[in-house]
Amino acid sequence: MKVNMQSVNFNIDKSLVEFITAKVDNLDKFYDKIIEADVYLKVQNTSEKENKIVEVKLNIPGDELIVKKQCKSFEEGIDLTTAALKRQLRKKKEKQRSYQF
């Protein structure tokens, strides 16, 4: 799977890139037909503590799964988005299994 990353309003750190790549690559265990993942990291210029936005878009054959979360840190946001994507991928796989029989 190919992982594309874009950061808005800041420069992305190498350790954050490795963390995101590991988490997103882990989604292959739940659904093996993922083509690519687009990860968008944004920092809002507000006084709130939860000013980091993480958006992950998975391209799979015939569909796109998009999850967007706003958190205090990018690591927390990636954890939440990948957990939500795991649930969506499991649902998609279960639907496909029910159609195969």
Domain of 42: which CATH number? 3.30.160.100
Number of domains within the chain = 1
Extended beta strands in the chain, E state: 2-8, 36-43, 52-60, 63-71
Averaged pLDDT in 10-residue chunks for the chain of 101 residues:
91 93 93 93 86 95 94 95 95 80 56
Which residue range is the domain that position 79 belongs to? 2-100
**Structure-block tokens of residue 7:** 């950061």
Q: Check residue 100 and give its pLDDT.
A: 62
Q: Check residue 95 and give its pLDDT.
A: 84
3-state secondary structure of 13: coil
pTM metric for this prediction? 0.88
Q: Check residue 85 and give its pLDDT.
A: 96
